[in-house]
Amino acid sequence: MPISGLVITFDQTFGHPDETISRLRGEPAIEVGACDRQQCAIVVDTPSQADDKKIYQWVQDLPGVAGIQVAFVGFDDDAPPDSSSTTDSVD
Amino acid sequence: MDSKRRGFLKSAAMAAASSMVLGDAEFSLPVLGAADAPSDGDDLTWNKAPCRFCGTGCHLQVGVHEGRVVAVAGDKAAEVNKGLLCVKGYHVGGILYGADRLTKPLLRKDGRLVEIEWDEALDIVAQRIMAAPEKFAFYGSGQWTIPEGYAAQKLMKGGLSNNHIDPNARLCMASAVTGFLATYGVDEPAGCYDDLDACDVLITWGNNPAEMHPILFSRVTDRRSRGENVRIIDISTRRTRTTDAANDYLEMAPHGDVAIALGIMNQLIASGTYDKDFVEKHCAFRALESESPTLQGEAISEDEFRKRIAAYTPERVEELSGVPADQIRMLGKLFGDRNLRITSLWCMGMNQHTMGTAVNSLVHGVHLLSGHFGRPGDAPTSLTGQPSACGTVREVGTLAHALPGGRVVANPDHRAQCEGFWNLPAGRISPTPGYHTVKMFDQFTKSSDEGGDIDTLFVQVTNPGQTLPNLNKLFNDKEKLNDKFLIVSEVYPTATTQLADLILPAALWVEKNGIYGNSERRTQQWFKLVDPPGEARDDTWMTIAIAHRLLELGHEGMKDKDGEFIFAVKDDQGEDIPIWEFEHYYDTNVDKHLFEEYRQFTTMKHKNLAPYDEYVKARGLRWPVVQQDDGSWRETRFRFAGFDDPFVAEGEEFDFYHSSSGDGRAQVWFHDYQPPPEVPDEEFPMWLCTGRVLEHWHTGTMTRRLPQLNRAMPTAYVEMNLQDALAQNIRQGETVVIESRRGTTQLPVWIDGRGRPPRGTIFVPFFDETKLINNCTLDDHDPFSKQPDYKKCAARVRKLSEASS
Ligand code: SF4
């Protein structure tokens, strides 16, 4: 699974980013980094693509979250699928 | 993934995200500051590189662990993207690691590809060229690095005296080039991305930057989220993600952009709100000659211009474009307001157009006539799709008619200058332009008996088997012609390699040194960071190695006038470094040698470049880059404007110093509206438009190998209007047949999807090689730029059951 570094942007009219940040801290797949009243840096590390999606959605739905930007993606070791072209190589 | 690497990646991810939150945090190399670095992390190294994909030219930090790219972060020190990347950029590292990388030269024997050694491959190529040098053509792209394109250009024009070299940028931004040349006498935008930070109004002309140039678009939407007022006006033939962010959506008929630009100029003249002072001091008027029209056209008086533009009233423009007359008046008023700053953006919509040169010139004309030019935020700006369409194609001049640094083969002085820089005997460079892309492939796929006089074609860094229009005519016919020989340098199997006779495995992105030039005149350098797999090798090396084989075979063109190899690089003792042998290619920095040689060409058109080492230090520099009294090098943000351009004399406000009228003036063009060459009729009742999607870059050969992107957008589709679908009883997701007079393809239907075409229009992205929409597109092209129109032709949609019955 890719490890992602994300930046959460809080809605400027939202008065309680601290509560949202506490909820982020309570989620084991998330590590919380530098935060201020406008933005918060997190790292998401999950065992599967499905879990990753769930976490992303969960963060997006938290109160006061206006947007999420990706700052970093580490690559997994999964071999990507081939495309449909072939070279029908003969060894 | 082992826990050690996971630890590195988590630390790096946190550093990257945190540095974006702490706006003042340093994000220098290496990305992990001493305090952040895990104690056992000293074998993870970071270096800068531009993104491999689009012409935006975002900078990345690339993390390498044990010879493998393991992480990518946006480069916070880069002005272009300020630490951000789009979804493609974040996954760019994975393009190196598709399971089916090409790692050995492959030769087609009896219809099957067999592995051969590089030595044999080079011999085959050199012998094919030697047998008939004039029948050889070289096809590249704006993905060529500057040194790659420069080496190809020198081999062809300086070595073989053969001008049959063209890039796939011909299919992508050639009309932008001719638009700039016709207007300013010199190519490439005057403004830069800083305009996006300063404009009050952003007009997107047939352009969807929210998906195609998302980082640039986010510069504008971020300003809005900070409370700034930026009005976005989207002029398009279908609703897109850009429309979702726009304040105004003006839906135009295909080719309507020409009429709209004329309508705005009509309003500026009719209401007297054009910028009289700017026009009087800095502009002249121009139109096509009535007989044998040329790119330069002929001068017309302001009165004549007024007379002609008077015909394009808002009502007439409404008839031609479908945009209500009131909206044309609204645009006229906006441009008439000098208190606003207005930036126009365009890309393929205006370039892939049979009136591409005309509409480019007209939109420049709107900005010039209204004086919305040359102040930050006031700019007509064309974007490019490829990472070095500007740097390699437009500046190095890898086009069939061009020479480096804005020169053309038809000009004897320009040829003599190039022969001088290359130390070639006089007369070596041919004065006759070579074949442009469409003609080149037409000649290659036509049998020799019928006059098809290109018999060997070398393709580097592009995929014409998927991107050419009207593929059945321009590409697929090659299969039947045994005397034609297609050589393809590639990283993965593609639609083009399927017909290749010889495939050369290529190094990709940070597997080699490189230099790109992005859409805002920014030249960007990077170093090789990892080894290519197997026997994959650099494209520049291939070109030089082929040239050396030709030298060995006795081709006189491979020598300069002193008898030296044209690509000779000497060591400190004056001995040749054998860079044509791959094991010695990195004994020296070949990119640096070629770049320093190329740099001499750049001053004639005031596109001055700094020495190579300056680019090593920078996250790119925008030309012209000139040396200051203190020895430092200064880039230029706004060309032709006295406050920033070093080539405008002190005290002058503006100077269009390459003016085609020779008096420092830019040209405001008049062009009459012409209808598209093919319009829907009873048999083919729909407009077909083609284009791109956020997740995939061009033909998808790289992005379709990234699981994350492929999962997000696994297949091409046809966007249909709900009413059209209902009228034909077509359901969401149903596979249909798209047919034009030229070919067919099958696609699933997406109704009211990401893009929402109006009734009578369908849209198909071209990234999917299993669903080739270019079987259907039209090869009609602009008369000056020779760029085909992929945005409009007549097509029909049939249910599978009907098509097979
Ligand atoms: S694809 Fe373009 S916008 Fe996206 S990261 Fe790369 S250069 Fe930037």
Render B272-307 in DSSP notation, one character per residue.
Answer: T-S-HHHHHHHEEEEE--SSS--SS-EEE-HHHHHH
B41 is catalytic: no
B494 touches chain A (CB under 8 A): yes
Q: If we measure between CA atoms, which residue out of B32, B53, B34 comes closest to residue B518?
A: B53
Q: What angle do CA A46, A51, A56 make, to 5 degrees?
A: 90
Ligand 1 mean position to B72 CA, how many Å?
Answer: 12
What token pair was written down for B269?
A: 């003249």
How far is the CA of B386 from the CAs of B262, B326, B554, B602, B650, in angstroms? Answer: 29, 37, 37, 21, 36
B348 is catalytic: yes
The CATH classification of domain A3-74, taken from the options 3.60.21.10, 2.40.10.120, 1.10.10.10, 3.30.70.920 = 3.30.70.920
Interface test with B, best of A8, A43, A83 (most B CBs within 10 A): A83
Q: In whole angstroms, give the CA distance from residue B367 to residue B361.
A: 10
Task: Give residue limits of the domains in chain A.
Answer: 3-74
- Alpha helical stretches, state H, B22-116: 87-90
B70 touches chain A (CB under 8 A): yes
B418 is catalytic: no
Rg (CA), chain B: 26
- For residue B711, is pLDDT > 60? yes
What lies within 8 Å, CB to CB, of B726 at 6+ separation is none
What token pair was written down for B496?
A: 């083009």
Cis peptide before B30 (omega within 30 of 0): yes
B33 touches chain A (CB under 8 A): no
Percent of chain A with pLDDT over 70: 76
Instruction: Give the closest-approach CA distance of A13 to chain B in angstroms.
Output: 12
CATH of domain B106-167+388-585: 3.40.50.740
Query: Residue B31 has what DSSP assignment?
Result: S
Q: Is B686-804 a CATH 2.40.40.20 domain?
A: yes
CB count in 10 Å sphere of residue B672: 13
Q: In whole angstroms, give the CA distance from residue B578 to residue B502.
A: 25
- For residue B9, is pLDDT > 90? no
Ligand 1 mean position to B238 CA, how many Å?
Answer: 23
What lies within 8 Å, CB to CB, of B507 at 6+ separation is B491, B532, B536, B537, B538, B539
8 Å CB contact of B21 and A6: no
Interchain CB contacts (distance < 8 Å): A and B: 152
Q: Taking residues A18-42, report their average pLDDT.
A: 88
B466 is catalytic: no
User: To the nearest whole number, what is the mean pLDDT of chain B?
Assistant: 93
Instruction: Give the closest-approach CA distance of A19 to chain B in angstroms.
Output: 18
Interface test with A, best of B6, B18, B496 (most A CBs within 10 A): B18
Distance of CA B447 to the CA centre of its chain: 31
Contact B312, B266 (CB under 8 A): yes
Give the model confidence (pLDDT) of B70-125 as tens digits: 888 889 899 999 888 888 888 899 999 999 999 999 999 999 999 999 999 999 99
B10 touches chain A (CB under 8 A): yes
Closest ligand 1 atom to residue B387 Cα is: 7
**Which pLDDT belongs to residue B32?**
27
| Out of A5, A81, A87, closest to residue B710 by CB | A81
Among the listed ranges A54-58, A67-71, B427-431, B641-645, which one has the minimum average pLDDT value? A67-71
Give the model confidence (pLDDT) of B148-160 as tens digits: 999 999 999 999 9
pTM exceeds 0.90 for this model = no
Pocket of ligand 1 (CB under 6 A): B 51, 53-54, 56-58, 81, 85-86, 88-89, 213-215
8 Å CB contact of A74 and B770: no
Nearest-CA residue for ligand 1 atom 2 is B54
Q: Taking residues B155-183, report their average pLDDT.
A: 95
B267 is catalytic: no
Q: If we measure between CA atoms, which residue out of B440, B436, B363 comes closest to residue B402?
A: B436
Nearest-CA residue for ligand 1 atom 5 is B89
Using pLDDT thresholds of 50, 70 and 90, give the confidence band for residue B276: very high
Q: What is the DSSP string of B679-737?
A: ---SSS-EEEEEE--SSS-TT-TTGGGSHHHHHHS-S--EEE-HHHHHHTTPPTT-EEE
8 Å CB contact of A42 and B17: yes
What are the start-end ranges of the E strands in chain A? 4-10, 30-35, 39-44, 65-74, 89-90
Q: In whole angstroms, give the CA distance from residue B648 to residue B654.
A: 7
Nearest-CA residue for ligand 1 atom 6 is B89
What lies within 8 Å, CB to CB, of B153 at 6+ separation is B165, B396, B397, B398, B403, B404
Q: Taking residues B509-531, report their average pLDDT.
A: 97
CATH class, B174-382 region: alpha beta
ipTM: 0.85
Beta-bridge partner residues of B408? B402
Nearest-CA residue for ligand 1 atom 8 is B58
B88 is catalytic: yes
Ligand 1 mean position to B214 CA, how many Å?
Answer: 7
CATH of domain B3-85: 2.20.25.90
Query: Residue B799 has what DSSP assignment?
Result: E
Q: In whole angstroms, give the CA distance from residue B548 to residue B553.
A: 9
Task: Give residue limits of the domains in chain B.
Answer: 3-85, 106-167+388-585, 174-382, 686-804
